[in-house]
Amino acid sequence: MIALLRLRESLVLESALLGVSVVLARLAAHRLASTRAARRTVAAVALLVVGAHVAWGALPRPLASYGVDVAMALLPLLGLLCLSLVPSVLVGRALNRLLLAPAVSIDPRGGEPTAKAVEADVPREPRPARRAVVAMATLALPAAGLGAGVAGFVTGAALPRTRRVRMDFPRLPQELAGLRILQLSDLHLGCTRRLDDLERFLASADRPDLLMLTGDVAEDLSLLAPALHMIAALKPRLGAFACLGNHEHFHGAASARRIFERSDIDLLVNDARTVAVGDARLAILGVDDPVWMRGDLRPRLARHLDGALQRAGGEADFRLLMSHRPEGFDPAHARGVDLVLSGHTHGGQIGFHEKSVGERLWPERYLWGPYSRGDSRLYTTAGFGDWYPWRPGCPSEAALVELAHSKRCCVG
């Protein structure tokens, strides 16, 4: 697992989150937080936090990686616990006042309010039962937060699914209707995914008409050649094509390009190929990654796309673009490209109902799923792998895109 923070930063942050969680837990349910079991739980978590960071900093590799894994796994769990305890404090206090505070009555002869008068006349539920209700209600939110955190790691560890996507085009040539494109992106082999994960997925995959590999294939370049061999063995009817991602540049784009040249997968770097499908001409374009992680990527992607379009010529009936960054969709739409396949975003890691939870915050980022502008379409995949395997509501995937003739864009 990749370390999201430096060792010292991680230790300070997790210790602070644990301390805040303890304080909030005592405010939410003082009696429960003061029990021997609660104290032992806090001590165990504190020991785990310290032990993970000691292993991270003191042990030799690869043993230190286990410390990194534990420390990084604790980060979202402690964060969710802390966040869920805030409303839990409010719920616990409200229920304490409602269920556990003594009822008050006014003496009809005119005196101070008394609790005994009401308790004598009105039968009340036994207080232990009420305390149990308050305890369960107070614990519900923290339990749900921790459950969501654990579920995120379970989802991240699962074998990627095949997500079937139908992309509809108003001017699709008849020969291309029903064309199936398997898109693999962001495998990050050597990080959280291994070659045997890829092998297991490909063993159950149907043979597509086209295969698109849209970048970030391997964190360890020694795994790139065997991965390309496995992928090419699917033998898609119309060929297999790829573009570079930012991680190919991080680990050596020149080396990655040499490995691609020795494979059966055609790497397109601001380049194009034209494939005949019956009487229709399909232009397959691939743009290089801008590498930059900040600022507006669109101008640079536009220049890369112009070079690829120049290589393609102007006679294609359908243009399909591989752009690792989904920001390439905007210049592609402006230039009349029909379909863009992208990755990079990992779906924002957190999803709900097959869309990223960050969709409303960053709509221009095209984080996950199908998008449409005029007659142009984009599919941004959540990716086959990841560098941090915590994906609540956002499972890893390989997209199987089917082209159809219609005026709608939909996911099947």
Q: Which two tokens stand for residue 325?
A: 């960054």
Phi, psi (deg, nearest 5) at residue 380: -105, 115
Is residue 277 over pLDDT 90? yes
Question: Per residue in 204-253, pLDDT tens?
Answer: 999 999 999 999 999 999 999 999 999 999 999 999 999 999 999 999 99
Give the chain's radius of gyration (CA, Å). Answer: 28
The domain segmentation of the chain, as residue ranges, is 7-155, 161-411
pLDDT attached to residue 126:
47
Closest CA to 355 of 386, 380, 320: 380
45: which residues sit within 8 A by CB, 6+ positions away?
A: 18, 74, 78
Query: Percentages helix, strand, coil for the chain, rounded to the nearest 5?
Result: 45, 20, 35
| pTM to 2 decimal places | 0.87
Chain position carrying tokens 């459950």: 147
User: Which amino acid type is present at position 247?
Assistant: H
Q: Which CATH number among 3.50.50.60, 3.40.605.10, 3.30.460.10, 3.60.21.10 corresponds to the domain 161-411?
A: 3.60.21.10
Question: Per residue in 65-79, pLDDT tens?
Answer: 999 999 999 999 999
Question: Per residue in 108-117, pLDDT tens?
Answer: 555 555 555 4
